[in-house]
Amino acid sequence: SELIKSYLGSKYRSTEVPQNLVFHMSKHSGPVNEIQWCPVREQSHMLLSASMDKTIKVWDAVDAGCCLKTYSCHSCAVRAAQWSSCGRRILSGGFDSMLHLTDVETGKQIFSSQNEFRISTLKFYPADSNIFICGGFSPEVKAWDIRNCKVIRVYKAAVQQTLDILFLPEGKEFLTSTDAVSRDSADRTIIAWDFQSAAKISNQIFHERYTCPSLTLHPRESVFAAQTNGNYVALFSSQRPYRINKKKRYEGHKVEGFAVGCEFSPDGTLVVTGSSDGKVFFYNYHTARVIRTLSAHREACVSATFHPVLPSLVATCDWAGEIKIWQ
């Protein structure tokens, strides 16, 4: 892509806060739940989107701002979708309780299976792309093997729903955020698991009585961040005992019950998050101060994600089904 080549000059070596609208893409007829850039450098112009309109779309979000493919393999809302590490497949799960692994080029299903519960989150296992874990409206999280279409491990917790899943470095442990918050206790809000043994390592990580709709790992430091329904992003150590950083939190945006995502910039210097009022907030990672806000959408902005190669490019999506690219 000529645009990618032009951006990789000296001016764009470090992360900058986007402010100019490049593309406005609005072919989804329902809320967009998730967007994700393709992880393969040569295909990083492609953006994946999953929507409540039962479809998954792949966009050329760098050069043309157009929809390349639409996949309609689900019969209900698609709540979660992920690129495979090779960039040739898309794993998806939805409220129809179906799991699909779709070939990007042909649109054919490589793997399909009926799950026992509605799916709200799924992630590939970092050490083996044939394995993934999924969670949703169930006290269980399941690990699947694509090769034999079977569940290979079950992680059981006394919760009603899993909201997000995050693998920690090396993939030996992972975290789940859940809806397990009561008036008197916040245990089980974030749970740490041993991947191989399915043993629960800790359920006393986050003690404030807010659910955490999304989790994200810092690219360079041993920390992870959790979006909270207390309208702030909390910071934790990604090493045992996963202590919270009480001196630093990122506040100013609004969550208000939406599954608002947060993430770090590729170089780790910024924290970006959507907001229920349609704005995007950029925070300095070290000081936790707001650097800039972007009035991106009229409806709730549920995701904002940095391009993996172009540090000045950000994609955002909202509850009205719109996707925007900012530079």
Q: What is the CATH classification number for the domain harbouring 255?
A: 2.130.10.10
Domain assignment present for residue 297? The answer is: yes
Query: Does some domain include residue 183?
Result: no
Query: CA-CA distance, 60 to 62, in Å (whole number)?
Result: 6
In the prediction, which pLDDT does 10 show?
38
According to the model, what pLDDT value does residue 243 have? Answer: 95
The closest of 221, 94, 228 to 169, measured between CA atoms, is 221
Which residues does 10 contact at the CB level (< 8 Å), separation at least 6? none
Residue ranges with strand state E in 115-265? 119-125, 128-136, 140-145, 150-156, 162-167, 173-178, 190-194, 200-202, 214-217, 223-228, 232-237, 244-251, 262-264
- Residue 315's domain comprises 214-326
pLDDT for the residue 180 = 75
Residue 190 falls within a domain, yes or no?
A: no
- pLDDT the model gives residue 276: 98
Single-letter amino acid, residue 271:
V
Report CA 126 to chain centroid distance, whole Å: 15
pLDDT in tens, 79-105: 999 999 999 999 999 999 999 999 999
Q: How many CA atoms lie within 13 A of 210 on its CB side?
A: 18
Domain total for the chain? 1
pLDDT digits (tens, 9 = 90+) for 286-318: 999 999 999 999 999 999 999 999 988 999 999
Does residue 181 belong to any structural domain of this protein? no
Q: Model pTM?
A: 0.92
Angle of CA points 298, 303, 306, to nearest 5°: 115
The answer to the question of residue 99 being in a domain is no
Ranges of the chain with pLDDT below 70:
1-16, 181-187
Decide if 322 contacts 297 (C-beta within 8 A). yes
Alpha carbons 120 and 158: distance in angstroms, whole number: 17
Q: What is the pLDDT of residue 12?
A: 40
Q: How much of the chain exceeds pLDDT 90, in percent?
A: 88
Q: Are 103 and 119 in contact (CB under 8 A)?
A: no
Q: Is residue 154 part of a domain?
A: no
Are the CB atoms for 177 and 212 separated by under 8 Å?
Answer: yes
Residue 218 lies in a domain: yes
**Would you say residue 55 lies in a domain?**
no
Provide the pLDDT for residue 8: 45
Tokens of 86: 């090779």
